[in-house]
Amino acid sequence: MILPIVALGHPTLKKVAQDIDKDYPELNVLIENMFETMYNAEGVGLAAPQINKSIRLFVIDANPYEKYYPEAKDFKKVFINPQIISEEGEEWYFNEGCLSLPDVHEDVARKSKVLLRYMDENFQEKEEWFEGVLARVIQHEYDHLEGVVFTDRLSNVTKLFLRKRLNDIRGGNIRCDYKMTFGKR
């Protein structure tokens, strides 16, 4: 089932999300619906707050990046209760976008490696380093669990430049190919 994606300005995007446990109701259905929603909107990652659930869960399918980033091939994963243990490496810029901010794309600086502790869809605990574009997508989705969107990381000048577009998104004055929920009415 395709779920509506919450837009910038919706209060759920500002919350710090909560851990879940194995008993979370119909988790498999939720995960399936999140992948379906993400593919429908042509995204590579989707965090639960973006479908209005303030829980620590995100899904990633980085395959669309495969052409330029070989590490992205067949990278399809579910991350439950993730925790960033460490971020290392040089900061690099990558042009990010977000399904909650349609048609906004800006270069964001982040470190190149991330050590993540998380559970997979079977609640198996893992601790792994991710690099390159995979680290990037994980850092972006992880931010959503902390109530942060990528535009929060831009310079004040860039934010000023984007102000009208961001206000249009907050107010629902945009056209978008997928279904969205707006915070302000």
Three-state SS for 168?
Answer: helix
Q: Give the dihedral sign, CA 57/63/66/71.
A: positive
Number of alpha carbons in the 13 Å side-chain half-sphere of residue 160: 3
Number of residues in contact with Ni ion under rule CB under 5 A: 1
Active-site residue (options: 121, 125, 141, 146): 141
CB of 89 to Ni ion, least distance (A): 22
98 binds Ni ion (CB under 5 A): yes
Q: Which stretch binds Ni ion (CB under 5 A): 31-39, 68-76, 95-103, 128-136?
A: 95-103
Nearest-5° Cα angle at 72, 139 to 133 = 35
Residue 57 in the binding site for Ni ion (CB under 5 A) = no
Nearest-approach distance from CB 100 to Ni ion, in angstroms: 6
For this structure, is 131 an active site residue? no
| Torsional class of 142: left (φ above 0), alpha (ψ -120 to 50), beta (otherwise) | alpha
Stretch that binds Ni ion, among 90-98, 102-110, 115-123, 128-136 (CB under 5 A): 90-98
By annotation, the residues acting in catalysis are 141
